[in-house]
Amino acid sequence: MEREVIIRVEDIHYFYPNGVHALRGVTLNIHKGEFIALLGQNGSGKTTLAKHLNGLLVPHKGRVLVKGIDTRKVSVAKIAKIVGYVFQNPEHQIFAKTIFDEIAFGLRNIGVPEDEIEKRVIEALKIVDLNKPLDMNPHFLSTGEKHRLAIASVLAMKPEVIILDEPTTGLDYKRSRQLMELIKRLHEQGHTIILITHDMAFAAEYSTRTIILHEGKVIADGPTKEVFTQLDLLAKSSLKPPQITLLAIELYKRGYPIPKEIMSVKEMVNEFLKIYMLAKGLS
C-alpha cells in the first residue's frame, strides 16, 4: 500500500541573489512516517532544499506542495505547523529570555491559547528530557541542552514532519548518540524525519531512505541499504559508507554468507550469530 505523500517537490529550481543556481530541477515525494537522511557535500543544495520543504524558501521554478498546499501561496507560519525546522546551530535559533518563552514563541504566533501553550511547553520539555526551570535564561544551557531546547520548541508546534540540519555537529559521541536516540523516538511516535547530516554511521543506522544531492541535483534516492552499498554512486559525492558496511561488502565479495547491506554493528553481530548457530546446530 502506498503511504500518504506529505510533501511533493516538483521540478524545483532556486537561484540565490548572487546568481548561484542552488537547486537544478529537484523532484521527490516525502511520505508519512519516513526517516530520510539527506546527504551531500557543503554547497550541494541540502540546506536550500530543506528550507523549501517548510516554506522558508520558495522555488523560482517548479513548486512544493505540503499536504497539498502550494508553499508560494501561504505564509511560512502556516507551513511551520506541519513542517518544523531545527537549525544547525541552536545559538541561531534561540533568542528568548526564558526557556518558557522560547518554546511558547511559535505557539503564540499561531494563536494557541495560553493554557494550551503551558501544557505543550511542559510536554515538549518532557519529550526532550530537559529538566530546567522554565524561567531560566536559555543562554546558560550547555550546547547539548540548547540543541534539545531547539528541538522542544519545534516539537511544541506538533509538526508532522521534523527537519534537523546537522544536529550532531559539535556534539561529542555520547551526546550525539543521545540526540539520535531522541530523534528515533520521535520517529517511532509517528513524526516523519528528515535528517541532514555528514555522519555516515548515524545515517546508515537510523534512516530508512537516503537522498544524495550533488550540485543541486538528486543523484541517489532510495532505501538506505541500497544507496549505502553503491560505492561508485557514493564516491561521486566523495562519500564513504561506515566501516562496518565496508567490512560487510568485503566479506560478501569473498563469498561468505554475509549480506552486503549491513548498516550497523548490531546487524553484523546478528549475521555472525546466525551463522554460528546454524553451523553449531547442524554439526
Partner 1 sequence: MKESYAVIVEDVWFKYIAGKDYALKGINFKVRPGEFVVIMGPSGCGKSTLAYTLNGMIPHMFKGDFKGKVIVDGLDTLEHSIAELSTRVGIVFQNPEAQLVTMTVLEELAFGPENLGLPKEEIIRRIREVAKVARLENKLHRSTLHLSGGEKQALAIASVLALRPKILVLDEVTSMLDPIGTELVSEMVVRLNREHGLTIIAIDHRVEWAAEYANRIVIMDNGQIIGEGSPEEVFASPDLVRKIGFRAPQVSELAYELMDQGVKLDKIPISLNEAVEFYSRLLDEILSSRGDSPWREKL
- Closer to partner 1 by CB, 72 or 266: give it: 266
Residues that bind partner 1 (CB under 8 A): 41-43, 142-144, 169-175, 177, 198, 200-201, 238-240, 242-244, 246-247, 250-251, 254-258, 265-266, 268-269, 272-273, 275-276, 279-280, 282-283
- Smallest gap from Cβ 173 to partner 1, in A, equals 5
- Closer to partner 1 by CB, 15 or 252: give it: 252
- Smallest gap from Cβ 200 to partner 1, in A, equals 8
- Smallest gap from Cβ 60 to partner 1, in A, equals 24
- Closer to partner 1 by CB, 2 or 174: give it: 174
- Smallest gap from Cβ 170 to partner 1, in A, equals 7
- Closer to partner 1 by CB, 108 or 236: give it: 236
SS3 annotation, the chain: CCCCEEEEEEEEEEECCCCCEEEEEEEEEEECCCEEEEECCCCCCHHHHHHHHCCCCCCCEEEEEECCEECCCCCHHHHHCCEEEECCCHHHHCCCCCHHHHHHHHHHHCCCCHHHHHHHHHHHHHHCCCCCCCCCCHHHCCHHHHHHHHHHHHHCCCCCEEEEECCCCCCCHHHHHHHHHHHHHHHHCCCEEEEECCCHHHHHHHCCEEEEEECCEEEEEEEHHHHCCCHHHHHHCCCCCCHHHHHHHHHHHCCCCCCCCCCCHHHHHHHHHHHHHHHHHHC
